[in-house]
Amino acid sequence: MLWRQLKGSRLQDLKFSRQMPIAGYFADFVCRSHKLIVELDGSQHVEGQPHDDARTVQLEAAGYRVIRFWNNDLTSNMPGVLETILSAASGTERVPTPQPPPASGRGGSVVRGAI
């Protein structure tokens, strides 16, 4: 769903690539010109939080900003997800520290916390 919104520079001419190798990891979506990585996380990432944190540290050490969304954010709030990506690309908004999703694995906010 998100790739359909990002491919072909559809989001305000931001060029994203998919599954790009960076710092020993494959980033879900990368906008190299803005040094921005967008990661999508499913429920399996709750238990893998330490791994995700280490991964984020490495990606940031490579000079990228990493923002994460829960998969269900795409279906429940795609406009908010896209707005957050645009804000992150422009550097106008500080993205909050990711938080685990609600216990049900549904609902929640856009960037594992709030916008």
CA 73 and chain centroid, separation = 11
Q: What is the 3-state secondary structure (H, E, C) of the chain?
A: CHHHHHHHHCCCCCCCEEEEEECCEEEEEEEHHHCEEEEEECCHHHHCHHHHHHHHHHHHHCCCEEEEEEHHHHHHCHHHHHHHHHHHHHCCCCCCCCCCCCCCCCCCCCCCCCC
pTM of the predicted model as reported, rounded to 2 decimal places: 0.75
Structure tokens at 101: 């999703």
What's the rounded Cα separation, in Å, for the pair 115 and 84?
A: 7
pLDDT at 87: 94
CATH class name, domain 2-90: alpha beta
- Render pLDDT for 11-48 as a digit per residue (tens, 0 to 9): 999 999 999 999 999 999 999 999 999 999 876 545 55
- Render pLDDT for 50-107 as a digit per residue (tens, 0 to 9): 778 889 999 999 999 999 998 889 889 999 999 999 999 988 655 444 444 544 444 4
Could you tell me the residue ranges of all domains in the chain? 2-90
